Structures are given as structure tokens and as C-alpha cells.
């Protein structure tokens, strides 16, 4: 494919990792740093010393701390910021975004005040019905992507041409991209799995065993499907990379912030300490949104409700699991 200009902002761990596949493909990449000194250092050594210092890049990669310069001339704009900063960050860069630019958001989560997914937030801020928007999700730890270890992900867009172009731009021999048109389903999978991962982590911290972990993952995907489909997502999407794939990774790896948070709670840590730690643990906030939606829609999501009660209502983790096992008997199909 033709050589593209790709802007990735900001230069956090995930943003830096995403430089690897597109630069390996020969595209020109501009990486945005908030601090000029960090951008200058990157241009000198061609490494992000504060985030992924051991990772080296191929191709033409440059850094800048000037937002206008970073975005100017870009064919593709990749937003890799924290979920809770997407709206304000996009408002900040909106004046520099050209009408035909492709915008790919890799942030996973639901906005706290509005209950909107990131594509909905961008659409609301951009006010452009023809915007070339896409989202990325899947079982993707940034460090492994950066190290060029075999990884698969999914990019979803309502525009097939946008999804296909991004697929070709990012796909390498180590980073395989699938496309989807169920944007909402892909986003909800990436957000809701964090809540289940906290529940699994709590169980692990309590030494509930491997049977329990498998059950929580399996029934967790059922809850994700139940909540996602009532919001308009395709249930088959949750069987894919952004649903089951991301759920398995997040629930079984010590690298997962949400799993680790749950584990700490299971071992006795006060959830309030995690909420005030300043660390980004998406599931702690997403669970409030998920439970709120479930109540409005009158659907039962017992695992997520247990996590909510433990985190926000002071329910003791052991009692939470005891109550979960006492949940009303039913068919696995929900009948």
C-alpha cells in the first residue's frame, strides 16, 4: 500500500507500542510527547526512555511536543490516551483535525458521566456525520506488541474502506488485524471485560481455586453478552478478540491492572485505597456504569453486581462469593 503519514498521541506505553507495527510497514510516524525535553530526547536516541526504553523502531519515526505539528499532514490520527481524557484531549486537537482524516481510538472504556463509548464521545465532539472513525480492541498488552511478539487485534469501523485501510496499515507478520463493523460491540467487549477481571482477581486473592476462575470467566462473558446485546451490540462480537479474547488475557495475566486490583482486594486491601491511588484501573469505574445500565434495563449481571458491592458498598469479598453461589438457580441459557 502507499506510504502514509500517521500521528500517534500521546507517547504513553500503548501509543509508543503502536508505533512499532506501522513503522515496520514503512509508514512515516509522528509521536506526540507532552514535554518538549522528552520529544527532543526521542529524536536524539530514537527510543522512548521513560516508557519502553528497550524498544527500537524501524523506518521514519519522529517526535514533537507541538500538537499542530504532530497532526498536520497526517492521513491517520491514533488516539492512545486514557479513557477519562479522550473527550478533553480531542477537544484540544479538534481544530487541527482535517475533514478527511481517519481517526483511530485505542482507548478501552465507557465515559463516566455520559455512559458513552469512545466512538460516541468522538462523534459527539466532532459533530461530523461523515467522520472516518474507528476503534481498536483485543488481547493486546503493549509491551508484547512493542517486542513484536505474535499478537492479534480487531479494528472496527462503520465504514468498510476505513477498516480495510487501517488493517493494511497496521498488519505485520507479528501483528495481525481483523476488521469488524460492530463498533459498539467491540468497544463494550474491551470495557466490560475489565470488570470481570476484577472479580476473577478477587477470587484468586481469596484462593477460590481454578474451577472458580473458569466459571467466572465463562459466566462473565455471558453477562457481557447480556448487557451488550440490550445496548444494541451483536452477540457474536463477544466471541471474538475484543470479547472472549481480551477477557481471557485480562483474567489470567498478572500484567493486567484490573486483575491485580481484584487480587489485592481479595488479599485484604481496602478498595477505597485503589480508588484514590491515581492508578488507571478502568474496571473500577466501568462497574458503576455497567450496574447502573443493568438496573435501568432490568437485567441481572450477578458477577458485576458483586464486584460493585465489594468496591463501593463495603461488601466483604468472602461474603460476596458466598452470595454469588446462592444466586437463584436457572438455565445456563438464561431461561
Per-residue pLDDT tens over the stretch 217-228: 999 999 999 999
Write the CATH number of the domain with boundaries 184-325: 1.10.1040.10
Q: Which residues are identified as catalytic?
A: 193
C-alpha cell at 239: 466471541
Which residue from 63, 61, 16 is spatially nearest to 35, judged by alpha carbons?
A: 63
pLDDT exceeds 80 at position 130: no
Ranges for all domains in the chain classified under CATH 1.10.1040.10: 184-325
Ranges for all domains in the chain classified under CATH 3.40.50.720: 5-181
The confidence score (pLDDT) of residue 327 equals 77
Assign 127 a pLDDT band (cuts: 50, 70, 90): confident
The confidence score (pLDDT) of residue 278 equals 79
Exposed, middle or buried by CB within 10 Å (0-12, 13-18, 19+), for 284? buried
pLDDT exceeds 60 at position 335: no
Contact 34, 56 (CB under 8 A): no
* Residue % of the chain over a pLDDT of 70: 99
Cα separation, 162 vs 196, whole angstroms: 31
pTM of the model: 0.93
Question: Regarding predicted confidence, which is higher, 278 or 150?
Answer: 150
* Least confident window among 79-88, 158-167, 264-273: 79-88
Cα separation, 42 vs 95, whole angstroms: 26
- Compute CA distances 48 → 56, 58, 73, 257, 295, whole Å: 9, 14, 23, 22, 44
Q: What is the topology classification, in CATH, of domain 5-181?
A: Rossmann fold (3.40.50)
Phi and psi angles of residue 5, each rounded to the nearest 5 degrees, phi first: -100, 120
Q: In what order do the strands lie in the sheet with 5-9?
A: 61-64, 28-32, 5-9, 76-79, 102-105, 132-137, 151-156, 175-180
Cα separation, 231 vs 186, whole angstroms: 12
Amino acid at each position: 500500500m502507499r506510504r502514509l503519514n500517521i500521528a500517534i498521541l500521546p507517547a504513553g506505553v500503548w501509543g509508543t507500542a503502536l508505533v512499532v507495527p506501522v513503522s515496520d510497514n514503512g509508514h512515516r510516524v509522528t509521536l506526540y510527547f507532552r514535554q518538549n525535553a522528552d520529544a527532543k530526547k526521542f529524536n536524539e536516541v530514537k527510543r522512548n526512555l521513560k516508557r519502553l526504553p528497550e524498544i527500537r523502531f524501524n523506518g521514519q519515526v519522529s517526535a514533537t511536543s507541538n500538537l499542530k505539528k504532530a497532526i498536520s499532514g497526517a492521513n491517520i490520527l491514533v488516539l492512545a490516551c486514557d479513557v477519562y481524557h479522550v473527550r478533553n484531549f480531542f477537544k484540544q486537537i479538534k481544530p487541527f483535525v482535517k475533514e478527511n482524516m481517519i481517526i483511530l481510538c485505542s482507548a478501552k472504556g465507557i465515559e463516566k458521566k455520559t455512559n458513552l463509548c469512545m466512538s460516541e464521545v468522538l462523534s459527539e465532539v466532532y459533530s461530523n456525520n461523515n467522520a472516518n472513525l474507528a476503534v481498536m480492541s483485543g488481547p493486546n498488552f503493549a509491551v508484547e506488541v512493542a517486542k513484536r511478539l505474535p499478537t492479534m487485534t480487531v479494528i472496527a469501523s462503520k465504514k468498510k474502506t476505513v477498516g480495510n485501510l487501517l488493517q493494511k496499515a497496521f498488519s505485520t507478520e507479528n501483528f495481525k488485524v481483523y476488521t469488524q463493523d460492530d463498533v459498539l460491540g467491540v468497544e463494550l467487549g474491551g470495557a466490560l471485560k475489565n470488570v470481570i477481571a476484577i472479580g476473577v482477581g478477587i477470587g484468586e486473592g481469596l484462593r477460590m481455586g481454578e474451577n472458580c476462575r473458569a466459571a467466572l470467566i465463562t459466566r462473565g462473558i455471558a453477562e457481557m453478552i447480556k448487557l451488550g446485546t440490550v445496548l444494541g451490540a451483536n452477540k457474536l462480537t463477544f466471541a471474538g478478540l475484543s470479547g472472549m479474547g481480551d477477557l481471557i488475557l485480562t483474567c489470567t495475566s498478572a500484567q493486567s491492572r484490573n486483575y491485580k486490583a481484584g487480587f489485592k482486594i481479595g488479599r485484604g486491601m481496602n478498595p477505597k485505597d485503589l480508588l484514590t491511588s491515581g492508578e488507571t484501573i478502568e474496571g473500577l469505574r466501568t462497574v458503576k456504569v455497567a450496574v447502573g445500565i443493568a438496573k435501568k434495563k432490568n437485567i441481572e449481571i450477578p458477577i458485576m453486581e458483586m464486584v460493585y458491592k465489594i468496591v463501593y458498598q463495603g461488601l466483604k469479598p468472602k461474603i460476596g462469593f458466598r452470595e454469588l453461589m446462592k444466586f437463584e438457580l436457572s438455565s445456563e441459557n438464561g431461561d
